[in-house]
Structure 1
Amino acid sequence: MDSTTADTPITLHHRICPLCEACCGLTVQVQGRKVISIRGHDDDVFSAGYICPKGVALKDLHEDPDRLRTPMIKRNGRHVEATWEEAWAEIAQRLPAVQAAHGRDAVGLVAGNPSSHKIGLMLYLGRLIKALGSRNIFTAATLDQMPRHLSSGLLFGQWMSVPVPDIERCDFLLILGANPVVSNGSMWTVPNFKAKARALQARGGQMVVIDPRRTETAALADTHLFIRPGADVFLLLGMVHTLFAEGLVQLGRLAEWAQGLEQVREAVQPFTPEVVAPRCGIAADTVRGLARQLAQTPHASVYARIGTCTQHYGALNTWLVDLLNLLTGHLDEPGGAMFPKAAAFALNTSHLAATQPGQSLKGRGVALGRFSSRVSAAPEVMGELPIGCLAEEMETPGAGQIKALITVATNPVLSAPNGPRLSAALSQLDFMVSMDIYLNETTRHADVILPAPSPLEDLHYDVPYPQLSWRNHARYSAPVFGPAAEQAMDWETLLRLAAIASGEATTPATAAQLDDQLFAQDMQRRFGALAPAVLAATAGLRGPDRLLDVALRTGPYGDQFGQQPDGLTLAKVQASGPSGGIDLGPLQPRLPEMLMTPSGLIEMAPAALLADLPRALADLQQPTPELVIIGRRDARSNNSWMHNLPTLAKGPMRCTALVHPADAARLGLAEGALVRLSTRTSQGAQHIDAQVSLSSEMMPGVVSLPHGWGHDLPGTQLQLAAQRPGVNLNALLDENQRDPLSGTAVLSGLPVEMVAVEGAKTKVFTHF
């Protein structure tokens, strides 16, 4: 119960925003348990006061009456509030029964991208996955980023060795299929990208954006080029071809640390600019000009993201971007594409500590296809299967059929292709458990929902994003509020689930006891005879704090448990919180020390990627569709649940179909017209109805509709979102359309038919 009064003192807290990859520093003004205001933290060493509307919306999220605060159990088809012990008893009774009857693979798990912003989920989800012992693991990575991990793994030997533009020193930035003005980076953590791009231009640099929509980033660029959706691979191949044909290849100091150059040269020979130009919609001379400018600018970088990943050639696209940076001498060089050095949790920084400067230590590299999905035989990547396979794995009888499912911070009914099929499959499960803050389009199928704490009730340290950041840093946020009564922390919930999944007693030890046991075992395996000293040094810590302290102390800037007295510890990072964290400096060259490939070299020509090029060559002969559909991102709509927050939901309706005026005239469409968008998929014809918004920012022949909408399904508890539900773009998409190498869903560039809905009247878009 809130006992705040007018006399309650107002306090100021410093936080890291957990709502997108920008990870901006915030100052939160609080009175009792009420949030008074949220602003950017001017002294934050990473974001320097920048804030977007999502940061302000943390207040809405904390106070949202729809946010779940107690467990929910489905009784007679309806969700009712329950105690934690009732929820645990339900899970303990039903989950092991499924495992006993059908085997370990009968329980699947799906995790969403909000998991990456919560340290408890990031550090403890692996314990649940290990306890389940199931091959049926799925995450949002195969909806947006798996091609990036695949290329990093094959070329550099580690999934998270991701090069990002060194924008502080870059003089030419080429961007494909990304909109960092809106996203503030994606697989590139760069708050206030707009200011950094303007600074690049102010010092005489140039930014070129290639996208089928004149996005907010394209509007800022010096040059914007339209490209036919799905044709990025041909543009990139034409550019690589040009580098070889015109003698522009210059590996520089990395020449002795790379192999496969001649294989790449031979592989790209068929893809001349003249051959690829008609398919891209970009002239051959322009293709050559881009390659020349990239090669001839001393400090330059190529950056590509979701638009290039969520298509048939996602893996090839990402590989070719890496090749362009490498072949022009811009990989791992100031002003080019560089590798951040995270203070904690990055495997390639742990590896670095075991090497000598200037030397490469051979690693195990990465393995692909260690197992495959049961129905479609889709190969695993990073230990997970394509999320497009989830529905068929639940529907298809036989050994290994998914009979029970655990979902963690995810809403695949709206975010994955063919949500209606997935929803129907979820309704047939024997048992389903969800960890989530909302009763949404996916969790409405759950038998038990376990709520998470408000972000303001939890500590925060970004686990993945310092590995992707524009500048090296270390920042920590303490909880603003204590947890609500009985509310379990994410790590505690995962440990209890893991105990049940591993077959322990129906009333397992407390989460703290489980954590102590597992931590002691891990430290013994890792440190051997030194484990007692590590346990003693961390004796006052529990949960993620304890793991973070060990990771910081053993990281590249750490105190190594006293061996480097000036090094980082959790206490030192915590103490820096009010001053905005610890700045660890600009990006620095890291090759060859961080290479973890079996050869100890950059593997420029992985066999799997070379073998996929004939598919692209054959595709050049295929006709281009008359009209295709793409998604788009809005600064206020990173995830579907954000449509339920007043600060983000206000303003014009955003779920509209952007159509070029020429296409609208051809089809007889006016502003606000209702159109039927139809596709033909492996599951039959699909259609949705959406309102048209005319926009010259669209490339003719391309229509754009944002993802994550469709809040009109029964049984949900998203009252504000339901007032303007929008339509679900992903209902049009085919879950069997995937990049064959990474398993990533094809969400962009698919053919679509668009016709006016007869008898429908045009409509003025409403505002909240």
Structure 2
Amino acid sequence: MDNGTHYRTCHLCEAMCGVAIEMKDGHIAYIKGDENDPLSRGHICPKAVALQDLHEDPDRLRKPIRKTATGWQEMDWDEAFDLVADRLHQTRQEHGRNSIGVYLGNPNVHNHGSLVATMPFLRAIGSQNRFSATSNDQLPHMLASLEMFGHQILFPIPDIDHTDLFICIGANPMASNGSLMTVPDFRGRLKALKQRGGKMIVVDPRRTETGRLADEFHFIRPGSDALLLMAMVHTLFEEHLVDTGPAERLVKDVDLLRLASLAFTPEAVSDHTGIAADDIRALARQLATTRKAALYTRMGTSTQRFGGVATWLAYCLNILTGKLDMPGGVLFTQPAIDLVELGAMSGQKGHFGKRHSRVKGLPEFAGEYPASTMADEILTPGEGQIRSFVTVAGNPVLSSPNGRRLDEALGGLDFMVSVDYYLNETTCHADVILPPTAALERSHYDLIFSMFAVRNVAKYSEALFEAGPDTRHDWQILLELAHRLEKRRKGGRLPLRAELGWRTFKQIGPDPILDLLLRAGPYGADMGRVRGLLQPAVDLVMDILPQRHPLRGLAKLSPLNRHWQELPKGLSLSALKENPNGVDLGPLQPSLPERLFTRDGRINLAPRRYLEDLGRLHDLLKTPADTELQLIGRRHVRSNNSWMHNSQRLVKGKDRCTLMIHPRDASRLGLQTTDAAGISADDRQIVLPVEITEDIMPGVVSIPHGWGHDREGTGQSVAAAHAGASINDVLSDGDIDPLSGTSVLNGQSVTVKVWRPERQRKRA
């Protein structure tokens, strides 16, 4: 790569921050924020600077390796592809197609090449035993969007740049820069909100980095968010504050929600939530009476026993107070490549519960089973037992509940392959590891997070470094494996047309597909004079064809649709290359009713599956408030996933993998700051240093996620030197939200004691 400044998007979290990378003599000299990026406006966090560390990491794998009796051994690519295809094909022939399991990790959604190649790869595998990080993360939001708006990835995004009241429950955007709300420089945006007279309210079991900046803060007991939100709904109806605003004619079943909320008075939920009844009413009133307001919830509310109901109620509150489709409220994005509309055109709007997992009977979502049941499906004998496993850019041993049990399960497989460039706590179980190129060696476009951004933008980044001749991009690895698996399934040869199709796909790669999607989208080609000739035909198609006809979908998506006539035009891959800082496509805009995908074109305010689950919430209301210590996770701005801990600049400094505990609880348990604590649940236990702080609610303890690098057989030297302990070694994989199948990562009960190593050795 030439000397000088090169512009990219940081791929390490959802924020899509623009970076300016200065190159000198073929190496990175420094990394800073891109002041001309239309979304991040010069902001970056410490993770972005560590892009250099991840690229230059000597622990990163560059060639395929296989496990032998004497250790890991390098192999060439063709040999590796044949070995993997042969073993997976053998498993399928001997035990059936569902005997192969697949897990997809978070980094896949930051990678347009991987996204393009994943579907043909999964089709070639042919198994129903598919898993991903979704059920440990965002599934309740996807389910609510599917049930209420008709599409699993149509998320209402807070218009934070124009709101006057931001209510944040169970989220920490100061550390995350948003999640399902791509919002780089949250601090700067919050400052602007306050300068225009606005206010932020935070509700959380911990006074997070975001909570410390709040104008109003409330502690809440973990797992009780659904009670709080239902009491707010009750207050809106009781005080005649319901006004659905712009969505009024689209919303149905308002009375069903009113009836469902009758028993959940603020007084009834106060003891369970830890929030005074008057404060609950005040929250509801502020949301209702502030014209430009948005309520936002995330991990703390969704990854709990009532995650499905809590997320649904958060959406309901925005709708009942007229904030949906309102500037300054919550709006749907209009990205340059509209995967929402493209998915609907192909019949892929999402589905839930079409089948259930073999062992625990958990519902699938969009073809995936909950990650919490992976170990069950591997360890439990019988037809459909997983015998071979594929992981792609994931480390579920550290990111899924009961990691030790998953350790055991992966260790007993017949065969395992990992597409990953680290020998980590999961891939150490693989028989073969196929390492893809690093992120700076491939082009980048954010297909997914452009759909969740607080402003419509588009940005393409060319590869910063040329990939070596003996390397493969992840999309090349996935397509090559898919091609070879298909050939074996067909007896060794494919029909000529299919063979040519595979070869063409592998040759052109994802970027020409990206270009086609950009040109065909709402900001695409400016037809000029041709527009006048084609416009009547497009209008006719939109008027006469059925709602779900594919031609109507194409017309709706095209730049010739009159709905998009005010949007900027001319977007293409070449146009983005000419604008390396990115292209500003404008603020979020009202888009209803055109953006709805429900069968009747209306918003389902009270889907039956949520109403049926309220029996559990009633039962919770009848039981005494829990007095056991409740465990929650936490996030730090210098961390995101487990694979970031191999950067020295991200892990240096004060130990962040600690047990946070309130002084009152520490005193009761005899804990001091210099102590280590044993945190246990059933037969699962970890040990961590104690951090005593009033920033956490009494009765609650907190451990960060992604740590636990003390397993044997890994190859990340920096991470091993800062091992910490995995919160998922304490959490049970049997504790899930039965409505959605989401893992309960917040609100499980634990026991905490002073850790005395000598006493523990004597007991052993």
Shared fold per TM-score greater than 0.5? yes
Pair 1:517-2:510 in alignment: no
Distance 1:189 1:83, change over 3 A: same
Which blocks of at least 5 consecutive residues in structure 2 are unaligned?
532-558, 561-568, 760-764
Of the three residues 320, 323, 335, the one matched with 2:328 is 335
CA positional deviation for 1:686 = 1.2
Of the three residues 44, 49, 54, the one matched with 2:42 is 49
* 1:496–1:508 contact (8 Å) kept in structure 2: no
Structure 2: how far apart are the matches of 1:492 and 1:738? 36
Aligned partner of 2:586: which letter? G
Helix, strand or coil at the partner of 2:444: coil
* 1:349–1:556 contact (8 Å) kept in structure 2: no
Pair 1:569-2:553 in alignment: no
Helix, strand or coil at the partner of 1:371: strand
Of the three residues 360, 365, 388, the one matched with 1:376 is 360
CA positional deviation for 1:587 = 0.3
Report the equivalent of 2:753: 755
CA positional deviation for 1:255 = 1.5
Of the three residues 725, 739, 742, the one matched with 2:740 is 742
Deviation sequence 1:391-410 (CA, Å, 0-9, x none): 01001111111000110000
Report the equivalent of 2:638: 636
Deviation sequence 1:519-573 (CA, Å, 0-9, x none): 989xxxxxxxxxxxxxxxxxx9921111111211121211288856943222112
CA positional deviation for 1:195 = 0.7
Structure 2: how far apart are the matches of 1:77 and 1:206? 62
Of the three residues 435, 438, 444, the one matched with 1:451 is 435
Task: Give the fraction of aligned pairs with identical amino acids, expressed as a percent.
Answer: 45
CA positional deviation for 1:78 = 2.3
Pair 1:486-2:470 in alignment: yes
Aligned partner of 1:386: which letter? P
* 2:679–2:753 contact (8 Å) kept in structure 1: yes
Structure 2: how far apart are the matches of 1:619 and 1:9? 62
Helix, strand or coil at the partner of 1:343: coil
Report the equivalent of 1:164: 157
CA positional deviation for 1:90 = 1.3
Q: Which moved more, 1:584-593 or 1:750-759?
A: 750-759
Deviation sequence 1:127-178 (CA, Å, 0-9, x none): 1111111110000000111001000011000111101110111001100010
TM-score by length of 1: 0.91
Report the equivalent of 1:470: 454
Helix, strand or coil at the partner of 1:380: strand
Aligned partner of 2:191: which letter? R
Structure 2: how far apart are the matches of 1:253 and 1:324? 14
Distance 1:350 1:372, change over 3 A: closer
Aligned partner of 1:709: which letter? W
* 2:659–2:702 contact (8 Å) kept in structure 1: yes
Report the equivalent of 1:233: 226
Helix, strand or coil at the partner of 1:369: strand
CA positional deviation for 1:622 = 2.5
Report the equivalent of 1:359: none
* 1:364–1:597 contact (8 Å) kept in structure 2: no
CA positional deviation for 1:707 = 1.0
Of the three residues 387, 410, 414, the one matched with 1:430 is 414
Helix, strand or coil at the partner of 2:226: helix
Structure 2: how far apart are the matches of 1:256 and 1:122? 37
Deviation sequence 1:673-721 (CA, Å, 0-9, x none): 01111113xxxx2111111011110111111111111111111001011
What pairs up with 1:226-625 in 2 under 5 angstroms?
A: 226-348=219-341, 366-504=350-488, 517=501, 542-559=508-525, 566-577=569-580, 580-623=581-624, 624-625=626-627
Helix, strand or coil at the partner of 1:207: strand
Report the equivalent of 1:111: 104
Helix, strand or coil at the partner of 2:365: coil
Structure 2: how far apart are the matches of 1:509 and 1:575? 43
Report the equivalent of 1:3: none
Distance 1:518 1:153, change over 3 A: farther
Structure 1: how far apart are the matches of 2:486 and 2:231? 52
* 1:365–1:598 contact (8 Å) kept in structure 2: no
Report the equivalent of 2:649: 647
* 1:154–1:365 contact (8 Å) kept in structure 2: no
Distance 1:54 1:365, change over 3 A: closer
Pair 1:68-2:71 in alignment: no
CA positional deviation for 1:625 = 2.9
Distance 1:366 1:600, change over 3 A: farther
Aligned partner of 1:182: which letter? A
Of the three residues 182, 199, 217, the one matched with 2:192 is 199
Structure 2: how far apart are the matches of 1:548 and 1:82? 33
* 2:112–2:446 contact (8 Å) kept in structure 1: yes
* 2:2–2:26 contact (8 Å) kept in structure 1: no
Number of aligned positions between the proteins: 719
Structure 2: how far apart are the matches of 1:721 and 1:274? 48
Helix, strand or coil at the partner of 1:755: strand
Pair 1:58-2:51 in alignment: yes
Report the equivalent of 1:677: 679
Structure 1: how far apart are the matches of 2:426 and 2:629? 31
Aligned partner of 1:703: which letter? V
* 1:407–1:435 contact (8 Å) kept in structure 2: yes
Deviation sequence 1:601-652 (CA, Å, 0-9, x none): 1111111111101111101223313311111001111010111111211111
CA positional deviation for 1:501 = 3.1
User: Cα RMSD between the aligned structures?
Assistant: 2.2
* 1:73–1:81 contact (8 Å) kept in structure 2: yes
Structure 1: how far apart are the matches of 2:490 and 2:6? 40
CA positional deviation for 1:507 = 12
Report the equivalent of 2:707: 709
Of the three residues 25, 31, 34, the one matched with 2:27 is 34
Aligned partner of 1:208: which letter? I
Helix, strand or coil at the partner of 1:612: helix
Q: Which moved more, 1:340-349 or 1:548-557?
A: 340-349
* 2:487–2:493 contact (8 Å) kept in structure 1: no
Helix, strand or coil at the partner of 1:302: strand
Helix, strand or coil at the partner of 1:105: helix
Distance 1:138 1:213, change over 3 A: same
Helix, strand or coil at the partner of 2:357: coil
* 1:667–1:755 contact (8 Å) kept in structure 2: yes
What pairs up with 1:648-663 in 2 under 5 angstroms?
A: 648-663=650-665
Aligned partner of 1:400: which letter? G
Distance 1:126 1:351, change over 3 A: closer
Distance 1:515 1:69, change over 3 A: farther
* 1:414–1:710 contact (8 Å) kept in structure 2: yes
Helix, strand or coil at the partner of 1:50: coil
* 1:125–1:494 contact (8 Å) kept in structure 2: yes
TM-score by length of 2: 0.91
Distance 1:237 1:709, change over 3 A: same
Deviation sequence 1:56-80 (CA, Å, 0-9, x none): 0000000000011111111116222
Distance 1:518 1:610, change over 3 A: farther
* 1:238–1:273 contact (8 Å) kept in structure 2: yes
Structure 2: how far apart are the matches of 1:126 and 1:18? 21
* 2:89–2:489 contact (8 Å) kept in structure 1: no
CA positional deviation for 1:508 = 8.5
Helix, strand or coil at the partner of 2:308: helix
Distance 1:226 1:407, change over 3 A: same
CA positional deviation for 1:236 = 0.1
Helix, strand or coil at the partner of 1:589: coil
Distance 1:491 1:345, change over 3 A: farther
Of the three residues 724, 727, 730, the one matched with 2:725 is 727
Which blocks of at least 5 consecutive residues in structure 1 are unaligned?
1-7, 355-362, 522-539, 762-768
